[in-house]
């Protein structure tokens, strides 16, 4: 597992067969958490909002990088929107 923290957001990138631990699932210090992992046919991404995890889109991504960029841009767009208010 790899973890990247940027601007307070934690991005967990899992390898095949890896899972998040309870500490990572319920860690309260990262205001935004995303998990990226391989599935049969592509890569999936979920975001934690409060204590619930939500898939970011219905389909799978072709690569881990594509999934990460999608999640990172979503986080950046939300941060930009919060600053505009």
Q: What is the CATH number of the domain that holds 31?
A: 3.30.160
**Number of domains into which the chain is organized:** 1
The pLDDT mean for the chain works out to 86
- The strand pair at 9-13 and 52-55 is best described as unpaired
pLDDT value, residue 31: 63
Q: Which helix (H) or strand (E) holds 38?
A: strand 32-39
> What pLDDT does residue 36 have?
96
Residue 64 in contact with residue 72, Cβ under 8 Å? no
Residue 24 lies in domain: 2-84
User: Model pTM?
Assistant: 0.83
> For residue range 27-66, what is the model confidence (pLDDT) as tens digits?
656 567 899 999 999 999 999 887 788 999 999 999 999 9
- The Cα 25–Cα 16 span in angstroms is 18
CA pseudo-torsion sign 15, 70, 35, 31: positive
């Amino acid at each position: 597992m790899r973890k990247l923290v940027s601007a307070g957001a934690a991005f967990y990138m899992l390898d095949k067969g890896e899972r998040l631990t309870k500490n990572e699932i319920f860690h309260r210090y990262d205001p935004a958490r995303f998990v990226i992992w391989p599935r049969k046919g592509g890569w999936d991404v979920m975001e934690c909002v409060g204590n619930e995890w939500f898939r970011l889109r219905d389909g799978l991504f072709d690569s881990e990088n594509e999934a990460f960029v999608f999640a990172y841009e979503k986080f950046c767009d939300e941060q930009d929107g919060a600053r505009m208010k």
